[in-house]
Amino acid sequence: MTDGPLTDFELYYTKNGLVQVSNDVRRRILRELTDKNLSLTDLSKITGKAQSTLSVHLDKMVSEGLIAARDDPEDSRRKIYSLVSVMLAYSKPPSDEAMTMALNSLTDVADDPVKTRDTLARFMFLGFDAMGLSVGPMASMLGSIHAMALGGFLSGDTIEDTVANARDYYRKMGFGEASVFSLKPLTIIIKDDVPFTEDSAKSLGYYASGFFSKVLEDATGKTYDMVSNEVFGSDFNYFRFVLEPVAKNPIV
């Protein structure tokens, strides 16, 4: 239990449902397991925490479905831990500015049901920002699921064709204008006519990155990751991100 509202936490999706993580040690463990599997000894060296302390956290995290444990094939006396959950969101300071902008975005179109429908996504991202929740990770996942539902429909003969198809689809979807800044590295800029806060713009941009990454994966068979991004513009209505195919190292 807590004596007041949670103000510093991360939210994860697990096979058991949603799990909120606020403990600093557990959040550090989750970060370290993002790129590679680690043993208790490894985690102790990395975090500087005693193995007895970490064991308590690890057992709890396994039971919650945040991580998994298996016997080390080279030494059955020790366990190897791996990440089996996905971060969806994390806390941030609430924003009165975002709340005002969220209300204004709907007030301006409330008498037109079609325009209201088209504004809802922006309203929700601004609303999350207003309430103190950064949902970029979840937005990226939803963008990927959106592209997955298309089943390769946007795949072209070349990467250029595929990106052009995705760009045109994204424009018709009403989430802003997508333009290709460069092909090597693949750099895409999303422009919206609606003013945002920086964090809400980033969340909408993460949706776009998830969408384009999955479209490219379906077309090429390669995994694409966003390697850099930035929000810019006086109204925070531009989001630039770079996608590159990533040769994932096998997780041991």
153 and 238 housed in the same domain: yes
Q: Is residue 70 part of a domain?
A: yes
Tokens representing 116? Answer: 């209201």
The mean per-residue pLDDT over the stretch 104-111 comes to: 90
Distance CA(88)–CA(138), nearest Å, equals 4
CATH code assigned at 28 = 1.10.10.10
Q: At residue 115, does pLDDT exceed 90?
A: no
Q: If we measure between CA atoms, which residue out of 70, 88, 65, 76 comes closest to residue 17?
A: 65
The rounded percent of the chain whose pLDDT value lies above 70 is 96
- 64, 87, 110: which is the final residue of a domain? 87
- 87, 103, 127: which is the final residue of a domain? 87
Q: Is residue 113 part of a domain?
A: no
Name the pLDDT band for 251 (thresholds 50, 70, 90).
Answer: very low
Structure confidence at residue 59 (pLDDT): 96
146 and 235 housed in the same domain: yes
Q: At residue 3, does pLDDT exceed 80?
A: no
| Beta carbons of 128 and 79 less than 8 angstroms apart | no
Structure confidence at residue 198 (pLDDT): 96
Structure confidence at residue 252 (pLDDT): 44
Please give the mean pLDDT across all residues of the chain. Answer: 92
Domain of residue 147, residue span: 140-245
144 and 215 housed in the same domain: yes
Distance CA(129)–CA(195), nearest Å, equals 14
Q: If we measure between CA atoms, which residue out of 249, 174, 248 comes closest to residue 217?
A: 248
Q: Is residue 29 part of a domain?
A: yes
- This prediction's pTM: 0.88
Q: Is residue 207 part of a domain?
A: yes
Distance CA(93)–CA(18), nearest Å, equals 21
Contacts (Cβ under 8 Å, ≥6 apart) of 33: 67, 81, 82, 83
Q: At residue 146, does pLDDT exceed 70?
A: yes
Q: Is residue 189 part of a domain?
A: yes
| Beta carbons of 37 and 81 less than 8 angstroms apart | yes
Structure confidence at residue 117 (pLDDT): 87
Name the pLDDT band for 195 (thresholds 50, 70, 90).
Answer: very high
Q: At residue 196, does pLDDT exceed 90?
A: yes
Domain tally for the chain? 2
- 87, 120, 149: which is the final residue of a domain? 87
Structure confidence at residue 230 (pLDDT): 97
83 and 175 housed in the same domain: no
- Residue 106 exposed, middle or buried by CB count within 10 Å (0-12, 13-18, 19+): middle
Q: At residue 28, does pLDDT exceed 50?
A: yes
75 and 146 housed in the same domain: no
The rounded percent of the chain whose pLDDT value lies above 90 is 83
231 and 144 housed in the same domain: yes
The mean per-residue pLDDT over the stretch 227-242 comes to: 96
Residue 200 CA: distances (Å) to CA of 76, 97, 99, 124, 126: 47, 11, 11, 9, 5
Structure confidence at residue 108 (pLDDT): 86
Structure confidence at residue 87 (pLDDT): 96
Residue 244 CA: distances (Å) to CA of 91, 124, 184: 28, 29, 9
Name the pLDDT band for 250 (thresholds 50, 70, 90).
Answer: very low
76 and 166 housed in the same domain: no
Crossing angle for the helix pair 198-220 and 159-173, to the nearest 10 degrees: 140
- Digit-coded pLDDT (tens) for 37-67: 999 999 999 999 999 999 999 999 999 999 9
Q: At residue 5, does pLDDT exceed 70?
A: no
Residue 40 CA: distances (Å) to CA of 54, 58, 74, 81: 7, 9, 14, 8
80 and 150 housed in the same domain: no
